[in-house]
Amino acid sequence: PNGINWTFEFLAFLLFQNLVVGMLGTTALAAFGVVIALNSASFMPAFGISSAGAILVGQAIGAGRKDEVPRAFRITLGTVMSWQGAVGLGYLLLPELLLRLMLESSGEAADQALLEVGVRMLQLSCAWQLFDASAMSLSEALRATGDTQFPMWARLALAWGLFFPGSYLCVRFLGFGEVGTLLWLAAYRALLSLRERCLAQDRAHRERAAARALSVRGRQTSKSVELGIRPNARLRSRAAGAGRRS
């Protein structure tokens, strides 16, 4: 499920970039490429931290210390959100400087039209940073618990059932520009974060229900054993008393 998830989710994103953003023109497409390259500075470390947090979650579950899972997840989520939030703040406050540095490092000329579109796109990219952090942390934690198939279908349904067709239709027929297009991307990441949160809450609810059921069965078993022992003890006492009288 993990391989299928990443393959088809990235395919939806590539279609979004080449078909949807491509309809906005070469300048918008080039600016979007630079913005996504800059966003890797936010995404890649965050993904590494989320994967490390998933390892801690898996180790806690494997060692039978499930009570440590919430703490490991909170630390992971807080670290990832702090990182992506700080980088997103840089995108919001220093977009032109970051774009110029990126273009100069690749040997490209800082075209004014490219900078104007790129500045708007880079500032808009800060809108999905915290959603991205939440979705990644939750997704990796769920995978660590062994819950991979249902999150895969949920992510693919959002990517192929809403994000790509919705953004394509809005640009193709409603005339959305780069602002509306990137807002679609931000909305997709927000919905993905919300969906992962719902899955995590459902998982936690099922775990608590299973723990309660196990506890109830344990109490019932203990009570049955206790009730079964007491009559046998009385019978043995009566038999011993009869033996002494005889």
- The Cα–Cα gap between 171 and 237 comes to 88
Q: What is the pLDDT of residue 127?
A: 93
Question: Helix, strand or coil for residue 145?
Answer: coil
- The Cα–Cα gap between 198 and 87 comes to 27
What pTM did the predictor assign? 0.81
User: What is the overall mean pLDDT for the chain?
Assistant: 86
Residue 120 has pLDDT above 80, yes or no: yes
Q: What is the pLDDT of residue 123?
A: 96
CA distances from 220 to 94, 207, 209 (A): 64, 20, 16
Residue 15 has pLDDT above 50, yes or no: yes
Instruction: Give 183: exposed, middle or buried? Use CB within 10 Å, 0-12, 13-18, 19+.
Output: middle
Task: Give the mean model confidence (pLDDT) for residues 45-63.
Answer: 94
Angle between helices 178-245 and 129-144 (to 10 degrees): 30
pLDDT in tens, 203-236: 777 777 776 776 777 666 666 555 554 545 554 5
Q: What is the pLDDT of residue 243?
A: 56
| CA angle in degrees (0–180, nearest 5) for 95-100-103 | 125
Q: What is the pLDDT of residue 235?
A: 46
Confidence of residue 143 (pLDDT cuts 50, 70, 90): confident
Residue 118 has pLDDT above 60, yes or no: yes
Quickly count: other Cβ atoms within 10 Å of residue 22's Cβ: 15
Higher pLDDT, 187 or 146: 187
Residue 132 has pLDDT above 90, yes or no: yes
How distant is the alpha carbon of residue 97 from its chain centre? 30
Q: What is the pLDDT of residue 145?
A: 86
Name the DSSP class of 94.
Answer: S
Residue whose tokens read 């775990």: 207
Q: What is the pLDDT of residue 189?
A: 93
How distant is the alpha carbon of residue 41 from its chain centre? 18
Stretch among 52-56, 126-130, 139-143, 164-168 having the lowest mean pLDDT: 139-143
- The Cα–Cα gap between 141 and 51 comes to 8
